[in-house]
Amino acid sequence: MTTGPLAVVLAMVVLSRKFVRKFVPARFRCTQHSALRWSIILAFLVLPSTSLTIFRTFYCVEMPSGERFLEADLAISCDRSDRGVQLVYSWLMILIYPLGIPASFFVVLYRQRDVIATLDEGTPSGLLPKQVAPLTFLYHNYKHGKKAVASGDRYAYLAEVYECLRRVVLCGGIV
């Protein structure tokens, strides 16, 4: 559940590199912008379910016999000797998914904040500047561009970052 999306993103990044393109058939090639766009969409889709799976690795239930088992899978004992490795892996995945995805969304949006601030909300995707075209999935549903700046909502385009953090908190609250 946690390594699959990482493998897909890694494959897209590798296939988007210029030195790889000459060895890869045309139907499998992708540009860096399309790799970024599809990586963002994939990250958006897997964030809640993957975060929930990661958070569930910390919750153990105690049986009447006194043994503790992982609530997500009662076949896994929380008293096993390799539980420490599982916890380290879970903490690493927390850095990548529930914290890393919103942080990466923030970084890519913040780096393009000046370009996003100059856009008109109705700008067709074909006329968008090349550097922000892959990011439209993150900000197009929120107030952005000249209207947002004029109304004092200069950072409204970051709403997706807040939305991702809200989804992570809700997933963590279930556990």
Q: Report the DSSP beta bridge partners of residue 77.
A: 69
Other C-beta atoms closer than 10 Å to the C-beta of 85 total: 10
Rounded to whole angstroms, how far apart are CA atoms 25 and 15? 10
For residues 138 and 105, is the Cβ–Cβ distance under 8 A? yes
**Would you say the C-alpha torsion 49, 53, 58, 61 has a positive or negative sign?**
positive
pLDDT tens by residue, the chain, 175 residues? 788 888 888 887 777 776 666 676 766 656 777 788 888 999 999 999 999 999 999 999 999 999 999 998 999 999 998 899 999 999 999 999 999 999 999 999 889 888 888 877 777 777 888 888 888 888 777 665 566 666 667 677 788 888 899 999 998 877 7
Q: Give me 6's structure tokens.
A: 């990482």
Residues 6+ apart with CB under 8 A from 168: 47, 48, 51, 98, 102
| Residue 74, helix vs strand vs coil | strand
